């Protein structure tokens, strides 16, 4: 099938770009001895995850239990779930998943560790890493001392194994994260609890992740597809972006305005990464600005464009943030050039729990 | 089942509030002789649409063909689809739908009308309204003269019926929209094409929609659930909001910070409506600010709160924009007080085409 036959809006994945993006990252990882454990949130497709593992990834990362279950169903066997899993229902599901695959989770509080400790026994123990807030200001213990205290609580539980440290570094703060983790590593060694794994992540810093770092494992996500945000942060160019949203021009109300059939429901509303503007890059009209999204429409400012599209014409839009686009669509089209290889259902889309 | 038994994140719909919101709007519409044609994008549930019709709505509004098909499957029989439907695949689906239900669509260009005219015949004609840009700056003809020209093109096609005018008024611009529509109505009457229907919409202006307006039909959407945006625009209060996202506090990394398991994948990233702040209102902690969303986490600033939640505690969050939340979830829980009536699958979620 030719891509012209795909109705809109629809997500197209350029497989040549996917393979180039994966190969480039894996080559860097191999050259620097830094194992990759890709975050699957960007594609949410077991087949892409299997491709990442076949290239050399040591396993995958999922952010939600439901995503991890879907990936296990899809044949993935080594899963890191860096999340505080709380509550009886989720702990039961976690125990079932721990019986099926090689699994590790995180904790950043005594309450979370206590929940794991009460649910898991030494016959089928759970590996737990301590999440560290190295400056990003989300979850995570705040000090090396807190990391040691939590590691001790984990190590003391018969059904838990202390697996090391995990962080998501602050934007532009890899050195800061590294210093934080070094201090915690030293403190853990002094406490007799050397961390087996020190896990960091983020596509923007992927190609320098091995530089003088204590990181033993790296979790890039968006690198497989890339997007405007990654390009704005210095990771590759727009020509590396593998995910586009195919759209139709449904209206040309004025000479300077076009309206596409891709609103926030198809393109996601994440703001433009500076210095870029608008809600996406229109490949065929690079000077156009996607200036506003409502749920079902994108309003495009054509005032800087020489050529302008007609009603009914289709275009392809590189989104600001690929991962959130994936989460809005039930299927994607895998393409090579202008040919569709096939349609893939996004089996772990919308797995919120 | 008690709502405490629902795992998180999950969407809860307070049916007492739904019924009060619907009754209030329908009473206004009945008292003012203004037929309602609710937009189903807010709930995407045929059962809610049937409830709206049972209360007196003359039909429903859908924004995408796929949503309209799902609503027809759910038993709805009178559907307005205010969208430029383009392309052979969608026109075939439109013809099939036109055979099943009472249907009307819109057009704002000669190209769109030409597509309809080529596909529909006089044995099963399609009703077409002209979409008017009365200031909102999305789709729509720009002048009364353009409206007349398009109405003439529609009326001249053997398989099309000119149905009137449709607009989505600009924010705070009901008077401006009304003046625009009045001028177009006069021009159409002079051309021998009096508009049968003049359709306007929007929850913010719902309770004054009948004031001196040429509008003959009104399309409110969000009024069924309401949300922070509607409250900020003056429609009701937070106590009218029927949709909440149940969340768990998964981390308390610092004294002033909590992290919920509801990121942009569960709560949507629409910005706060001024003068409100943050990505939602936490019912139990009204002074908390949901200051940042990543995909799977909401970071909450507790610095203004006296009482503060513990890890594992659940809360309910009123989102900024209810409609986009509905589109992220596969199911919602219909509740009365603290009891779950049942779970409903969102059958028209993600219908992008």
Find which of A118, A317, A350 to mutate to test the B interface (most B CBs within 10 Å of its CB): A350
Q: Which residue from A64, A86, A257 is facing B248, i.e. has the nearest CB?
A: A86
Of A333, A257, A329, give the one whose Cα is nearest residue A297.
A257
C-beta atoms of A312 and B87 within 8 A: yes
Query: Chain A residues with CB inside 8 Å of B133's CB?
Result: 253
Predicted confidence band of residue A184 (pLDDT cuts 50, 70, 90):
very high
Query: Chain B residues with CB inside 8 Å of A137's CB?
Result: 257, 292, 299
Find which of B5, B63, B82, B86 to mutate to test the A interface (most A CBs within 10 Å of its CB): B86
Residues A309 and A210 in one domain: no
What pLDDT shows up at residue A22?
98
Of A326, A314, A305, give the one whose Cα is nearest residue A261.
A314
pLDDT tens, position by position, B289-304? 999 999 999 999 999 9
Residue B211 distance to chain A (closest CA, Å): 27
Separation between Cα atoms, residue A140 and residue B254, nearest integer Å: 9
Domain limit, last residue, from B169, B198, B225: B225
C-beta atoms of B295 and A86 within 8 A: no
Q: Which residue from A87, A111, A253 is facing B139, i.e. has the nearest CB?
A: A253
Residues B106 and B239 in one domain: no
Residue A212 clears pLDDT 80, i.e. is over it: no
Residues B52 and B129 in one domain: yes
Strand order in the sheet with A78-84: A60-61, A78-84, A102-107, A126-132, A160-167, A197-201, A217-219
Residues A201 and A297 in one domain: no
Q: How far is CA B323 from the centre of its chain?
A: 6
Whether A22 is in a domain gets the answer: no
Residue A173 clears pLDDT 90, i.e. is over it: no
Q: What is the DSSP string of A326-349?
A: HTT-SEEEEEETTEEEEEEE-TTT
pLDDT tens, position by position, A263-291? 999 999 888 999 999 999 999 999 999 99
Separation between Cα atoms, residue B61 and residue B78, nearest integer Å: 9
Measure Cα distances from B20 to A163, B55, B221 in Å. 53, 12, 15
What pLDDT shows up at residue B172?
84
Query: Chain A residues with CB inside 8 Å of B268's CB?
Result: 269
C-beta atoms of A139 and B115 within 8 A: no
C-beta atoms of A312 and B86 within 8 A: yes
Spans of chain B, pLDDT less than 50: none
Domain limit, last residue, from B188, B203, B225: B225
By C-alpha distance, the chain B residue nearest A270 is B269
C-beta atoms of A266 and B41 within 8 A: no
What pLDDT shows up at residue B95?
98
Residues A336 and A240 in one domain: yes
By C-alpha distance, the chain B residue nearest A168 is B294
Predicted confidence band of residue A213 (pLDDT cuts 50, 70, 90):
confident
Separation between Cα atoms, residue A257 and residue A250, nearest integer Å: 11
Whether A103 is in a domain gets the answer: yes
- What letter would DSSP give residue A39? B
Whether B330 is in a domain gets the answer: yes
Q: Which two tokens stand for residue A335?
A: 């393409």
What is the CATH number for B332? 2.40.37.20
List, in sequence order, every residue forming a beta bridge with A315; answer none if it has no partner. Answer: A247
- What letter would DSSP give residue B136? S
Residue A314 distance to chain B (closest CA, Å): 10
Average pLDDT in chain A: 97
Q: Which residue from A41, A139, A295 is facing B295, i.e. has the nearest CB?
A: A41
How buried is residue B99: exposed, middle or buried, by Cβ count under 10 Å (0-12/13-18/19+)?
exposed
Find which of A258, A311, A317 to mutate to test the B interface (most B CBs within 10 Å of its CB): A311
Residue A274 distance to chain B (closest CA, Å): 18
Whether B122 is in a domain gets the answer: yes
* Residue that is written with structure tokens 């009914």 in the block: A312
- What letter would DSSP give residue B259? E
C-beta atoms of A138 and B259 within 8 A: yes
What pLDDT shows up at residue B52?
98
Residues B167 and B251 in one domain: no
Could you give the dihedral angle defined by the CA atoms of residues B81, B86, B89 and B92, in that order, rounded to the nearest 10 degrees?
60
Give helix B174-190 / helix B144-156 axis angle, nearest 10°: 50
Q: Which two tokens stand for residue B92?
A: 């075939």
Q: How far is CA A176 from the centre of its chain?
A: 22
* Residue that is written with structure tokens 């962080």 in the block: A167
Whether B351 is in a domain gets the answer: no
| B80-84: long-range contacts, CB 8 A cutoff, minimum separation 24 | B80/B37, B80/B104, B80/B105, B80/B129, B80/B199, B80/B219, B81/B105, B81/B106, B82/B106, B82/B129, B82/B131, B82/B166, B82/B199, B82/B219, B83/A250, B83/A296, B84/A250, B84/A251, B84/A311, B84/B108, B84/B109, B84/B112, B84/B131, B84/B139
Cβ A58 vs Cβ A102: under 8 Å? no
What pLDDT shows up at residue A228?
97
* Residue A343, number of CB atoms within 10 A of its CB: 13
Helix spans in B39-190 (H): 46-55, 65-73, 88-100, 110-119, 144-156, 174-190
What pLDDT shows up at residue B3?
97
**What domain range includes position B141?**
15-225
Tell me how many domains chain B contains. Answer: 2
Residues A176 and A267 in one domain: no
Percent of chain A with pLDDT over 90: 94
By C-alpha distance, the chain A residue nearest B113 is A311
State mean pLDDT over A108-135. 98
What is the CATH number for B129? 3.20.20.10
Whether B350 is in a domain gets the answer: no
Find which of B63, B139, B248, B314 to mutate to test the A interface (most A CBs within 10 Å of its CB): B139
Separation between Cα atoms, residue B129 and residue B107, nearest integer Å: 6
Whether B353 is in a domain gets the answer: no
Residues B221 and B260 in one domain: no
State mean pLDDT over A135-155. 98
What pLDDT shows up at residue A211?
84
Residues A116 and A142 in one domain: yes
Residues B318 and B172 in one domain: no
Of B225, B255, B231, give the one whose Cα is nearest residue B334.
B225
Separation between Cα atoms, residue B248 and residue B259, nearest integer Å: 8
Q: Which residue from B41, B140, B264 is facing A295, i.e. has the nearest CB?
A: B41
3-state secondary structure of A301: strand
Helix spans in B39-133 (H): 46-55, 65-73, 88-100, 110-119
Domain limit, last residue, from B196, B225, B254: B225
C-beta atoms of A251 and B139 within 8 A: yes
What pLDDT shows up at residue B163?
98
Residue B31 distance to chain A (closest CA, Å): 31
Q: Which two tokens stand for residue A316?
A: 């392809």
Q: Which residue from A7, A87, A352 is facing B265, i.e. has the nearest CB?
A: A352
First to last CA, chain A: 36
Could you give the dihedral angle defined by the CA atoms of residues A315, A319, A320 and A324, in that order, rounded to the nearest 10 degrees?
150
Chain A / chain B CB contacts < 8 angstroms: 156
Whether A24 is in a domain gets the answer: no
Residues A297 and A319 in one domain: yes
C-beta atoms of B269 and A266 within 8 A: no
C-beta atoms of B7 and A90 within 8 A: yes
Cβ A352 vs Cβ B265: under 8 Å? yes
Q: Which residue from B139, B266, B270 is facing A259, i.e. has the nearest CB?
A: B139
Query: Chain A residues with CB inside 8 Å of B142's CB?
Result: 253-254
Of B320, B321, B330, B335, give the one whose Cα is nearest residue B351.
B330
Residues A216 and A240 in one domain: no
Of A235, A165, A168, A302, give the one whose Cα is nearest residue A21.
A235
By C-alpha distance, the chain A residue nearest B245 is A352
Measure Cα distances from B266 to A20, A319, B239 in Å. 32, 20, 21
Residue B290 distance to chain A (closest CA, Å): 12
């Amino acid at each position: 099938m030719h891509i012209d036959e795909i109705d809109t809006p629809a997500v197209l994945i350029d497989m040549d770009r996917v393979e180039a993006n994966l190969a480039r990252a894996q080559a860097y990882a191999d050259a620097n001895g830094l194992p990759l454990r890709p975050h699957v949130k960007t594609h949410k497709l077991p087949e892409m995850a299997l491709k990442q593992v076949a290239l050399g990834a040591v396993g995958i990362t999922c952010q939600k239990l439901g995503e991890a279950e879907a990936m296990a169903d899809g044949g993935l066997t080594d899963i890191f779930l860096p999340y505080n899993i709380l509550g009886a229902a989720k702990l039961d599901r976690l125990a079932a998943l721990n019986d099926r695959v090689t699994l590790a989770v995180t904790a950043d509080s005594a309450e979370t560790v206590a929940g794991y400790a009460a649910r898991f026994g030494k016959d089928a123990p759970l590996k737990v890493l301590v999440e560290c807030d190295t400056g990003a200001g989300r979850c995570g213990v705040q000090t090396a001392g807190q990391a040691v205290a939590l590691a001790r609580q984990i190590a003391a539980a018969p059904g838990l194994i202390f697996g090391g440290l995990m962080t998501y570094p602050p934007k532009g703060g890899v050195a800061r994260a590294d210093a934080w983790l070094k201090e915690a590593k030293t403190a853990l060694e002094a406490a007799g609890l050397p961390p087996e794994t020190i896990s960091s992540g983020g596509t923007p810093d992927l190609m320098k992740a091995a530089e003088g770092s204590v990181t033993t494992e790296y979790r890039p996500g968006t690198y497989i597809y890339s997007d405007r945000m990654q390009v704005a942060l210095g990771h590759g160019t727009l020509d590396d972006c593998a995910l586009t949203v195919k759209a139709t021009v449904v209206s040309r109300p004025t000479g300077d305005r076009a309206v596409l059939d891709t609103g926030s429901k198809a393109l996601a509303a994440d703001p433009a990464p500076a210095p870029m503007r608008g809600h996406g890059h229109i490949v065929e009209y690079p000077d156009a600005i996607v200036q506003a999204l409502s749920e079902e429409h994108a309003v495009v400012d054509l005032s800087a464009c020489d050529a302008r599209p007609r009603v009914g014409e289709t275009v392809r839009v590189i989104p600001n943030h690929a991962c959130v686009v994936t989460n809005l669509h039930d299927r994607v089209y895998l393409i090579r050039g202008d040919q569709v290889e096939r349609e893939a259902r996004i089996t772990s889309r919308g797995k919120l729990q």
